[in-house]
Structure formats: C-alpha cells, structure tokens
Amino acid sequence: MIRDITLGQYYPIDSVIHRLDPRVKLVSTLIFVISLFMFKNFSGYIAATLFLFGIIKLSKVPFRYMVKGLKAVLILLMITVVFNLFLTPGKPIFEFWIVTITDEGLKTAGFMAIRLTYLIIGSSIMTLTTTPNNLTDGLEDLMRPLSKVRVPVHEIAMMMSIALRFIPILLEETDKIMKAQIARGADFESGNIVQKAKSLVPLLVPLFVSAFRRANDLAMAMEARCYRGGEGRTKMKPLIYQANDYRAYALNAAYLIAVIVIQRL
C-alpha cells in the first residue's frame, strides 16, 4: 500500500507535458478540478474523460502507474460512495429493511466516484510531470500579486515544495520502519479494525520522530547556509513562456468553453 502512493512523486521522462511551463500545468489542473464539480450530466464527464486521457497520452506516464495511486484512497472512495448511495433522499428504486437506495443517491454516488477518481489522477499528472522546484517557482509566480496585500507568497510556495519533497522520503521511511517492526514480530494485517489501529502505534511513533528530526536538520542546514527567501532573490532558471505553453492555454480555454456550453445544453 505504501508503494502505491504516487501523489507528490516525479516521473522522469521526456514528453510534451513535462516540458510545459509549471504555471500552465497549475492553471490547467485548477481548471480541470473546478470543471469536475460543475458537471451535472454524463456529457460533461465524457468531455472530461477525453481531455484527461489525452493529457495522459501526451505525458507518456504509464496509465497503470497513475491508477496505482488510487489504491491508497480506495477506502475513502468507497466510504464516500456508500454514504451518498444510502443517505441521499429521493425516489426509491430498491428497499430492504432499513436500507433504501434512491435514484438520486445512485446518480450522486456515481458522479462522486468519478469526480474523486479524476481529481486524484488529474492532480497526480501535475506532480508526476513537474519537479518540486519548478512547481514551487510556478506557484510563487502565480501568487505574486497577493504579495501586494502582505501575503507571504514565497514562504507558502517553499512550504509546499518541502512538503512535496518529504512525501517520497517519508514513504520510504515508513516502508523501512514497517519491515523492521515485522522482523521483530509486529503484525499489521490480522485482527479487527481496533487491533489494526493499535498495531500502527509502533509504526507511527518512530515515523513522527524521524519526520521531526529531518525537519530540524533541514531547518539547521538552511540557517547555516544563510538562506533568506523572498524579495530580491534571483533564480538560476527563470520561467519563460514558450510556444507550446500558449497552445496549452488555448487548449484549456477551449476545454473551459466546451464545459460551459455542455452545462447550458
């Protein structure tokens, strides 16, 4: 399960999507996520499916690798679907004892499952095709106007970059600790939910200790190197829009127009 988490990890390969400006990918992801919550019929989800699979094809990232990331949130996805399926009021289509499935509940559960799945895959494409440094630079550039109202833009972007960098590190650390605990006789699989939760204590305690130690080491390293972010700081590789970036913006605009038209039909 730990190895199935792909969010926040970079997949090194040469593709059109990898070469795009990170600002374009951030804006594209935002537009795609917003569009998922605008759809009220299957026509909209068909358009989102075509758009998403087109981007996956251009990214050259294996589809199995992206789908693998869904295993980590499968339980959350199932809980969301079950709650929408059984607790949404409407016209009953199936009744047994206290269990009632309505037409609206079935429709809402289906849409919610598609939304969450596409949301995870769409967000994964951005992180899989963008290095943390480029993602930080893109986010900081897009949020730059907020600095006029004293929003700490650079600090927010830096925190996001560090968080993304820590995801694969902590996953690797979790895997090591889990193997060490299993070698000492720990059992993370058998038992009921309460017993499984208790068995995670020997895993979580050293993981938190390790995370705080790494964070402290990073802070000391940045301070020892006299790191001062924000105003006046230059970049080794400044972001410059290329021709493909403008084409990507045009494609996003076309997708957004298509979404609006579909919703009005």
Q: What amino acid is encoded at 202 in this protein?
A: P
Alpha-carbon distances, residue 229 vs 42, 69, 118, 131, 236 (angstroms): 47, 33, 35, 19, 14
Q: Which residues contact 134 (CB under 8 A, 6 or more apart)?
A: 22, 239
Long-range contacts (CB closer than 8 Å, 24 or more residues apart) made by 60-67: 60/13, 60/14, 60/15, 60/17, 60/18, 61/11, 61/13, 61/15, 61/125, 61/128, 61/129, 65/6, 65/11, 65/128, 66/6, 66/121, 66/124, 66/125, 66/128, 67/121
Distance of alpha carbon 72 from alpha carbon 117, whole angstroms: 12
The percentage of the chain sitting over the pLDDT mark of 90, rounded to a whole number, equals 12
Compute how many other C-beta atoms are within 10 angstroms of the C-beta atom of residue 259: 21
Alpha-carbon distances, residue 153 vs 23, 137, 148, 225, 231 (angstroms): 15, 11, 10, 21, 10
User: Greater confidence, 195 or 148?
Assistant: 148
The number of CA neighbours under 13 Å toward the Cβ of 83 is: 8
pLDDT at position 249 over 90: yes
pLDDT at 253: 92
Structure tokens at 148: 């006029």
Q: Hey, is 94 helix, strand or coil?
A: strand
pTM: 0.76
> Which pLDDT band, with edges at 50, 70 and 90, does 231 fall under?
low
pLDDT at 150: 81
pLDDT at 251: 92
DSSP 134: H
User: Comparing C-alpha atoms, which of 36, 225, 200, 20 is closest to residue 126?
Assistant: 20
Task: Average the pLDDT over 65-87 and give the result.
Answer: 77
pLDDT at position 128 over 80: yes
pLDDT at 44: 82
> Which pLDDT band, with edges at 50, 70 and 90, does 248 fall under?
very high
pLDDT at 246: 94
Tens of pLDDT, residue by residue over 162-205, are 887 787 788 788 888 888 888 877 777 776 767 777 777 778 88
Range among 137-141, 158-162, 200-204 rated most confident? 137-141
Task: Determine which of 18-32, 104-118, 235-249 has the lowest per-residue pLDDT on average.
Answer: 104-118
Alpha-helical regions (H) of 101-237: 103-128, 132-142, 153-183, 193-199, 201-224
Q: At what angle do helices 22-36 and 42-59 cross, to 10 degrees?
A: 160
Structure tokens at 158: 């830096």
Task: Average the pLDDT over 59-71 and give the result.
Answer: 80
Q: What angle do CA 32, 252, 155 make, to 5 degrees?
A: 65
Compute how many other C-beta atoms are within 10 angstroms of the C-beta atom of residue 18: 20
pLDDT at 3: 55
> Which pLDDT band, with edges at 50, 70 and 90, does 250 fall under?
very high
Q: What amino acid is encoded at 4 in this protein?
A: D
